[in-house]
Structure 1
Amino acid sequence: MPPKTSAAAPRNRTAQQPAEGSVHAVSPMRLSYLIGQLDRIVSRRLSETLARHGLTLPQYTALSVLRARGRSSNAQIAERSFITPQAANEVVKTMEANGWVMREADPMNRRVVLLSLTKAGHALLGECDAAADHVEGAMLDDMDAETAQKLHALLHACVRNLRAA
């Protein structure tokens, strides 16, 4: 028979702080909670770092998408940057005004405008990549290269699995 807990033990203990002598094991944090917590911390740190370069996180993401995918429409930028089309419009306006991107008509569909990086956009992205590398380096600080590569592969698999579901 399991030992009884004291009747005087407070009832408002959280799952992280079981009563002394309790038979209840501490449940580990849900993986989805840890991923969300990591996302918020990484977003905050990246935003702080990118601000020193005059760039927001959505702008950095959009510039990165353009570099990886090449010319893209506003709708594609929005989808791949995890922002609404309306937010993407504002991001693109600012990036164009700063000379980081240029617009041109899609030769296949004249109603679609394609965006591409300018030389200034490429240069800024290079500076910001170094800043992002610093944030990622801090996150992976106590991991060896093999573990960091394994984490990268596992997270990529998680994204792929959920997209396919």
Structure 2
Amino acid sequence: MIISPGHLDDPRVIALLRLHLESMHVHSPPGTVHALDLSALKRPEVTFFTAWDGGELLGCGALRELSAGHGEIKSMRTAPAHVRKGVAAALVRHILEEASRRGYRRVSLETGSGDAFDGAIALYGKFGFVRGEAFGGYVATDFNQFFHLDLHATEAQPTLR
């Protein structure tokens, strides 16, 4: 698996992002979807990553800079044919390594509640993310959840493989 930045003009990536947005709207109450669209993923504070096996797209994820010491994981999605094959874990690991290289002290994320989000929440828990308060302008609702990882607290811990 190769993880690299970019590829936002690739039709396969655009299709996966469309699937991601559609799924978020199906599984989320109105007004609670915070997934980034294609134009938002092209903003300078966002670094978008794609995972590939040869020419096959496996998944994607992004790191948004909230401040000099704080990043946010966005747009995590595994291609349907590659779910539960370690793609999402590889992307999270890559994003956290990038956050560490940038000197971020904290990485956060927002996600939803319910069966459609349970797998993602379990994955983030394996990396040490803990539930916490809203951040970065989000407003807490009964549906959305917020998770945070203190990167300095995890430096001495082994990386999940």
TM-score normalised to structure 2 length: 0.29
Higher normalized helix content (fraction of residues): 1
Higher RCO structure, 1 or 2 (CA under 8 Å, sep 6+): 2
Larger CA Rg, structure 1 vs 2: 1
TM-score normalised to structure 1 length: 0.28
Higher normalized strand content (fraction of residues): 2
